[in-house]
Amino acid sequence: MNRIGILATGSYLPPTVVGNEEIARSSGVSDEWIVRKTGIRERRRADDRDATSDLAARAARAALEQAGVAARDVAYIVLATSTPDHPQPATASIVQHLIGAENAAAFDINAVCSGFVYATTVAERLLRAAEPGRYALVIGADIYSRILDYSDPKTALLFGDGAGAALLGTVAADRGIRETSLLTRGDQYRLISVPAGGSRMPANDRTLREGAHFFRMDGRGVRSFVQDNLPGALHELLAKAGVRPGDIRHFVPHQANAVMLGEVWPALGLTGATMHLAMERYGNTGSASVPVTLDLAHRQGLFADGDSVLLAGFGGGMTVGAVLADWAPTACARPRAQELAAVR
């Protein structure tokens, strides 16, 4: 079996900045309240002309450029999104066309905010069984601004738009992805939803009047789900890998809410790790949040050869996913004018 690791990263964050003041006016809260409750100060909003595939393609190109790999050499494109361009075809197919990856098999995964970790797990399994030297593009991309009810402070203030990507390929036998873990608690699927627009509740005049096409979330229920499930899932993964929590060097979680992450942090036991956060400037970008944060950290040169890196996603479904990797030497990281908060 090939050992598979991350060879390069990329991201795209739209240039339009939406500060808390704008969100506060429509949702009936204050800038101070938003920062105190979430740690978010601003987020990005996609241009009206752009769809999820456009953001995903830009992030994918950035990863390919960093690695010096041509799009035609990519064997697989696995795109994680819960805001696809259309119900069908798969948004990954459109990305394949946009970047010229004509030799890649392309498909979507929807595990909501755990999507990038789920997609990474699938791509890693595909490459392990493939010929050495094959590449997979794993992309997380979402445009949540199109499905938000801006009068709902529980959701409107959290989300931003963006895309992140990672190029996976063969690495040395003592580097790369060591273990992955996926968990779904379908009995709690109602905690996060977009009720209308699918086969159970097709679009009609009534669903539009009732706003059933907007994103809905039970915030307290989600917080309880994370506290109850994330620590155990990570500890089980690390035990399987034979790694102590205190030996992890970097933790890149889904950027859901800085306050919630701060509350669950002690239970994770990652005493030697830096938790990387990007949500102050970019908010919760859904399935893009883990790869965007990973890319920002990588381009700042924060990962050294052999560092243990733990990625964790959690979101609708309800889902939890984790990937443990020993960082492999990658293409030269090119700094960008973007900020990342790294907190122990």
- The residues carrying an active-site annotation are 113, 254, 284
Q: With 0-12 CB in 10 A as exposed, 13-18 as middle and 19+ as buried, what is 282?
A: buried
The structure tokens listed for 223 are 């917080």
The residue behind tokens 């060879």 is 7
Q: β-strands 274-277, 341-343: how paired?
A: antiparallel
Report d(CA 300, CA 302) in Å as an integer: 6
User: Which regions of 123-268 does DSSP assign to beta strands (E)?
Assistant: 135-143, 161-170, 176-184, 192-193, 216-217, 250-253
How many angstroms from the chain centroid is the CA of residue 222?
Answer: 17
Report d(CA 8, CA 170) in Å as an integer: 12
Give the orientation angle of helix 258-268 with respect to helix 31-38, to 10 degrees: 20
How many angstroms from the chain centroid is the CA of residue 114?
Answer: 7
